[in-house]
Amino acid sequence: MEFCPKCGTVMFPKGDCFECKNCGYTKEMTKESVSQYEVSEKVDAKESVIVTSDNIQTLPKTKVKCSKCGNNEAYWRLRQTRSADESETRFLRCTKCGHTWREYD
Catalytic residue annotation: 85-86
69 annotated ligand binder: yes
66 annotated ligand binder: yes
20 annotated ligand binder: yes
17 annotated ligand binder: no
* DSSP secondary structure, 12-72, as one string: EEETTEEEETTT--EEE--HHHHHT--------TTS-----SS--TTS-EE----TTT--S
4 annotated ligand binder: yes
Residue pair 11/18 in contact (Cβ under 8 Å)? The answer is yes
Q: Which residues are annotated as a binding site for Zn(2+)?
A: 4, 7, 20, 23, 66, 69, 94, 97
Q: Which residues are annotated as a binding site?
A: 4, 7, 20, 23, 66, 69, 94, 97
